[in-house]
Amino acid sequence: MSSGQESVFSEYETDTSQTSKLLRKFKETPFVPIGMAGFAMVVGYGLYKLKHRGDMKMSLHLIHMRVAAQGFVVGAITCGVLYSMLREYVVKPKE
């Protein structure tokens, strides 16, 4: 191996803790954890409302919860794409 490859590998190996990787990914794409948290909140709310759904059929309730969870995730992804496009093309960072 050349010395250039060894320095790349050693740099990667120094930053291998799961927490540091997770924090780095969250900084790179901030809307992914927002989408995941929103999905978890919709699922939690759906499970809570499952007990108090009244005379609504189970299948209809589950369809509504699925659509709500998917809508939140798609909305978060769309906001993330728009944010990254804004950051990359409109507000160009100094190089």
Residue 18 falls within a domain, yes or no?
Answer: no
Encode pLDDT of 35-47 as tens digits.
Answer: 788 888 888 888 8
Closest CA to 77 of 38, 44, 40, 41: 38
The total number of structural domains that make up the chain: 1
- Find the domain containing 71 and state its range: 59-94
Q: Which residue has the higher pLDDT, 16 or 46?
A: 46
pLDDT band, very low/low/confident/very high, at 51 (cuts 50, 70, 90): confident
Residue 9 falls within a domain, yes or no?
Answer: no
Q: Which residues have C-beta within 8 Å of that of residue 83, sequence separation ≥ 6?
A: 30, 31
